[in-house]
Every structure is written in C-alpha cells, then in structure tokens.
Amino acid sequence: MSFEISITLSLGSTRLAYDFAAGSGLTALFGPSGAGKTSLLNAIAGLVRPASGRIVVDGAALFDKAQRINLKPEQRRCGYVFQDNRLFPHRTVRDNLLFGWHRAAPENRWMSLDEALDFLGIGALLHRMPATLSGGEAQRVAIGRALLSGPRFLLMDEPLASLDADRREEILRVIERVRDELKLQILYVSHDRDEVDRLANQVIEIAPPG
Amino acid sequence: MALLTAEEWEVLALSLKVSAVAIGACLPLAFALAWMLARWRFPGKVLIDALVHLPLVLPPVVTGWLLLLAFGATGPVGGFLQEWFGLTLMFRWTGAALAAAVMALPLMVRAMRLSLEAVDRRLEGAARTLGAGPWRTFFSVTLPLASPGVLAAAVLGLARSIGEFGATITFVSNIPGETRTLPLAIYSALQVPGGESAVTRLAVISVVVSLAALIASEWLARRSGHGRGRHVL
C-alpha cells in the first residue's frame, strides 16, 4: 500500500502545496496548527477539491486534475476518523457502527460487527445514543464505524485532541493495534511530538504556508 | 343543544380542507426554497429571498389583489390554467387554498431554512466518506436532523393558513360553502345584528384549532429526530 500525493489547495486567498509519498504503516503528517493538515485529509477523502495535482493510492488515482479524475468521497473507501468523532447524533451506537458497513459492497467488508465490538471493547455501548458516551467511548465507536465501512486505509485527524490524559492512552493503544494487528495503512495528522514519536513509522513535516 | 349549527360545522370542515390542501401543496415548494436559500449561492439570491418574504410584509389585501391579477380569468396564469386544464381558482375553495398557501409560504420557508442551517454539514461529510451518496446522505442524515424544524414549519404554516383573511376575501370573495373559512365566517357574523353568539362559538373554535395545532407541532417535534435519544436527556 502506498500513497503519492502532490496537490495544491486554495483556501480563500491562501495557497497550500503538498508533495510527498507515504509507505505502509502509520504515516504522521506533523506540523503546527494552521498548516492546513485537516484540509489535506479532506482533500484525500474527497470532501475538498484540490486546485491541481494528483492523489494516487496503490497506483490508482483518486484525484488527477490532468486526467480529469475526481472520485466521489463515497467511492474512495477511506475510513475517516475525525477530531470530534462526528457520530450521527440521531442514531444509536449500533446504527452508527453499521452505517458504512451497510453501504459497503459485501466483498469489501473485512470486519464484522462482532469483531469490531470485540476489537474495540464497545459491546456494552451498542444501544446507547452518542450524546451519552464519554469522549473515549465516542472515539472508539468512531474508529469502529470507520473500520466497519471496509476501508482500504484510514485517515485520522488528531483523534486524541479532545481527550483527557487517561483516555488518550486508551485510544493510543487502540490505534497501535489497528496499525499492528489489522495492518491498515494510516495517515495520521497531529501537532503533538510525543504522539508522533510513539505512533509513526514515517513522519511528513507539514509547514505552514508562506 | 347542539354544539355547532350545521352551517358552522361546514365552515370548520371547509377551513380544515382549505388549510390542509394549502400546506400539503406548499410543503415541497417551501422545502425547495428553504434548501436553495440555505445551501446554494447564486446571483439574485437576495431577490428570491425578498420575493418569498413579500407576503409577510405586504398588506394581505395587496397580495389578494396580485393573485386576482395573476390568476383571474384574463390573468397570465389564470388564463393559461383555464385554457389548458379548464381550471378556475377564482371564487373557488382551491383559490382560497392558493391564497392560504402564499400567505403561509414565508413563515414555512423561514422555519425550514433555520432548521436546515442548523444541521452540521460535517456530519454529511462523514456520511459521504462512509459510502453514502448525496441522496442517501440527505435522507439518512440531513432530513432526520432537520425534520423537527420541518414539521414545526408545516404546523406553523397550517395555523397561519387557518387564520388567513385579507388575501382570501380579496381573491376569492366570501361565498358560503365555497370560500367562507373560519375568519370570513366570523367577519360575516359580526355584520349581522344579533350574531354575537355565532361569533363567540366560531372564535372558540379558532382558539381550539390553533391550540391543537401548536400542541401537535410540539408533540411531533419531540418524538421525531432526536426522539430515540430523549429518554437519556
């Protein structure tokens, strides 16, 4: 599994350029706030359209301006774990977990609900509503929801940012197990040096514009 | 003693029919307009916004007169409907429904637009990355989250349309059994010497119907959308 990313993004009057390749394991996209790291993940997920360049995963283009390729987000098979978990507030944990699973083609599903519950230790939360979950519980459900959608790779946007120290450790271990046991490639955005040192196989420095 | 005379029952039934048809027909249009105003950026948006809100600030009698011009037998829309579909709205209950719909539209668009703008669009992005296309995202995320507001808007519009007077009497007159809705019947009873008891009964009905509408909207809003999570709040 590999990424080749070479794009420019226009955000208002700011122009951001990224050019890097990432191998297997966890690649940290490391840089200060305001460097456009989240915009980069959004571009890879297809939520933001780059101004130019190309995004290639395993030799297949998700976006290529020159060849007019721009896959829709729902065609890209990326599991996106957001900073603020972004669970659907009107659906139970179970319905959140299965949202992507139901949409995925059967041959693309590589994890069952039971396996996910077991892996993340969230079996007891199944019938709760997201508003009743603690930060750590919600983030585990969000990771489960992403895994169950049958992704080819994960995008993680500061998944520890809104957690206290104990919960951070808990989620850090989950992420390590996703990396080592599931062998899933992860692009991981962070501005925290300790986090990056502990998790990353490869670090890409993202500099602020200008 | 009967609660209402046969004539008054007829007025009530007509009022409910006119309002129900008005809101039913208005709902998809109001939602489309609310969506356009909440989500799209296009030149002339300010003008569309102002036009939608016009019935809210115009004297209702002017709105009724404009409807008369447009939908009258010789009006541009009325002539077309008459010629192609043999349809006349003037002096018909359908015309009363049109007047009620036009008057309720701004309120409904406003309420729906607010509820659409309150939906966190990042949740829609999350749904897309999980494999849902735009329509699936709309029906499983956007609409459920906006639905309490949309329902509240519909009931608000219904309450408004039941009270509609000025545009209706101008556009379709005050014909018993055809266009004489509750407010028009109250107005007529006021003109008749000794009509006070009829006025009182009709006014009580108005209060009861309006209260029922408001309570229904509250109930609908509570049990939809976040309803399944309510027990934990």
Contact list in B for residue A103 (CB cut-off 8 A) is: 130-132, 136
Contact list in A for residue B225 (CB cut-off 8 A) is: 90
The predicted model gives B102-109 an average pLDDT of 94
User: Which percentage of chain B shows pLDDT scores above 90?
Assistant: 65
Nearest-by-Cβ selection for B123 from A77, A88, A128: A88
C-beta separation of A138 from A85 below 8 A = yes
**Which among A50, A70, A63 is positioned nearest to A8, based on CA atoms?**
A50
| CA of B57 vs chain A CAs: smallest distance (Å) | 37
Within chain A, which residues score under 70 in pLDDT? 210
Domains parsed from chain B with CATH numbers: 6-37+55-225 (1.10.3720.10)
Which chain B residue is nearest to residue A150, measuring alpha carbons?
Answer: B130
Q: At what angle are helices B6-39 and B93-117 packed, to 10 degrees?
A: 40
pLDDT attached to residue B232: 26
Nearest-by-Cβ selection for A86 from B123, B225, B229: B123
pLDDT attached to residue B219: 78
Model confidence at B166: pLDDT above 80: yes
- To test the contact with chain A by mutation, choose from B122, B123, B124, B129 the residue with the greatest count of A C-beta atoms within 10 A, namely B129
CA B221 → CA A189, B20, B147, distances in Å?
39, 19, 8
Model confidence at B229: pLDDT above 70: no
Which chain A residue is nearest to residue B128, measuring alpha carbons?
Answer: A74
User: Would strands A52-57 and A26-30 be described as parallel, antiparallel, or unpaired?
Assistant: unpaired
Nearest-by-Cβ selection for A131 from B128, B132, B229: B229
Q: Which residue has the higher pLDDT, A130 or B6?
A: A130
B218: pLDDT confidence band, cut at 50, 70 and 90?
confident
Interface of A with B (CB under 8 A): 42, 45-47, 72-74, 76-80, 82, 84, 86, 88-92, 99-100, 103-104, 128-132, 145-146, 149
**A92/B228 touch (CB, cutoff 8 Å), yes or no:** yes
pLDDT attached to residue A139: 95
User: Which percentage of chain B shows pLDDT scores above 70?
Assistant: 93
A79, β-bridge pairs: A154
Contact list in A for residue B136 (CB cut-off 8 A) is: 103
B223: pLDDT confidence band, cut at 50, 70 and 90?
low
Contact status of B224 with chain A (Cβ, < 8 Å): no
Contact status of B136 with chain A (Cβ, < 8 Å): yes
Contact list in B for residue A110 (CB cut-off 8 A) is: none
| CA of A206 vs chain B CAs: smallest distance (Å) | 24
**A73/B125 touch (CB, cutoff 8 Å), yes or no:** yes
Which domain range does residue A37 map to? 3-205
Report the CATH number that the domain containing residue A102 is assigned in CATH.
Answer: 3.40.50.300
**Which among A98, A123, A121, A122 is positioned nearest to A111, based on CA atoms?**
A98
**A90/B232 touch (CB, cutoff 8 Å), yes or no:** no
Q: What is the pTM of this model?
A: 0.86
Model confidence at B207: pLDDT above 80: yes
**B127/A99 touch (CB, cutoff 8 Å), yes or no:** yes
The answer to whether residue A47 is domain-embedded is: yes
B204: pLDDT confidence band, cut at 50, 70 and 90?
very high
Number of domains in chain A: 1
CA distance B3 to A195: 76
Model confidence at B230: pLDDT above 60: no
Contact list in B for residue A127 (CB cut-off 8 A) is: none
Q: In what order do the strands lie in the sheet with A78-81?
A: A78-81, A153-157, A185-190, A26-30, A202-205
Tokens standing for A24? Answer: 């297997």
Sign for the CA dihedral angle at B136, B138, B142, B144 comes to: negative
pLDDT attached to residue B228: 40
C-beta separation of B53 from B125 below 8 A = no
pLDDT attached to residue B7: 86
The answer to whether residue A210 is domain-embedded is: no
Contact list in A for residue B132 (CB cut-off 8 A) is: 74, 99, 103
